[in-house]
Each structure stands twice: as structure tokens, then as C-alpha cells.
Structure 1
Amino acid sequence: MEFRQLITFKSIIEHGGFKEAADQLDYAQSTITTHIKNLEEELEHELFNRLGNHVTLTNYGEKLLPYVKQLLQIYYQIEDLDDEPKGRLTIGISESLMICRIPEILEMYKKITLKSKFL
């Protein structure tokens, strides 16, 4: 069982179908189908009732869904363990402090970050 299969499973449910999940995840629809087929083979249960273009969860799929949500929540939390600050930093400061103080602070920051990369 692979996380990408679980992500695919959840995406199909959230977006209402295989094609919609493929569009959302930027996969070919055949890739989505393969993920689910492999997951169903491994679990030895069908996860979806397929009625033309409409899909619904089987009883087993309904039972599986809360566990998939828990696993993916933990998976995403692990991905976010990085202690490094992320995102954009905006500093509002007067021009005089900008000229006098910021270059020194940025130089110290640069030394610290370079040092930590080589530890």
C-alpha cells in the first residue's frame, strides 16, 4: 500500500470521480484507475461501485475512509516537521534602522544558515 494510492482514493471521494481526481492530482485517468486497482488487489476488496461515470463507495470503502483520513493527516504532519521557517517575510522598518541595523542582522543570519547547512 502506497500513500499515493491512499491520496488517490481520498481525492476520488472528495472530487466526485476518477476523472475529477485525475484533473486535481494532475495524473492521467489511467494512472488513477491503476492506483485504485492495485489498492483493491492488495486489500482484496472493491472500494467503489462503478455505475457508468458515477462512482460510490462500497461498504468496505466506507469503513476504510476514516483510516485513510487518519493516515494522511499523520503523513502530512510528518512532511511539516521541518523546523525551517517557510514563506514570505515582510519587515516594516524605518529607513534609518534599515540603513544602520538590517545589514548587520542579515549578515549574522547568513552566517548562521550557512553554518547549519554544513553541520
Structure 2
Amino acid sequence: MAAADGLESRGKSRGLPPDARRLWEMREKDPVARAVWDESLEALAEGIASAVHTFDPEALILGGGMSAAPGLLDALRPLVEERLSDPFRPLLDLRLSSLGNGAALWGAAALWLSPDPWGPGTP
């Protein structure tokens, strides 16, 4: 439910247009659109916190359709920080991918072109 498809599906099920960008624009005046976005941001924050606690990355880069929403990081950062344990909070570099909605495609292409996609010494 944290991806744009899930957000659009949730919006459509509540009688809203199935368009993430439009839902973002509507959220200030429409409480249902606001609730749809809030629920999606909560799910995304949970997923990010889980990934950070599991992998301890130096940075977490967000891409995809939701990353195009203006002000996404400002809305998301406090939700992520309240879910992180103290040692992780000040260190996480959370930012948006410059690749936007094409991030997954570029990542898949890079993996496909990599001579050793699993890393040295792995089967």
C-alpha cells in the first residue's frame, strides 16, 4: 500500500480519482484524500524503518511514482524518525532519486549489465 499503485487503488475504492498526483493535490481540502495519503505514508514509513533496522544503510533513496509528490520528504521524514531506534535516527540520509518513476527500470538494467550481479565470491 506504500506504492503509487496501492495509493491509487485505495483512493479509487473510496470514490476518489485513481491518480496519485491528483490525490496529493486534493489532500489539503479533501479529508478522504488526506486519509488515503496518510495511510500510505504510514505504510511507507513502516517499511523504511524496517529496512533501516535490518540493513543499517547510510542512505535510503526513494524512487517510483510517489517520489514525484512535492513535499513528500517533509511529510515522510518525521514518520520515519519516530519509528527508528535512537542509534539510527540522526544517521539516516533519506532522499529522493533523481530517476523518479524510472528508478526500478534503471536498477534492473544495471543489474543485468553487471558482470557479477551477486558480488565477488557468491554463487
User: Which category of TM-score, normalised to the shorter sequence, fits these structures?
Assistant: under 0.3
Max radius of gyration: which structure? 1
More helix by share: 1
Using CA pairs under 8 Å that are at least 6 residues apart, name the structure with larger relative contact order, 1 or 2: 2
Which TM-score applies when normalising by structure 1?
0.25
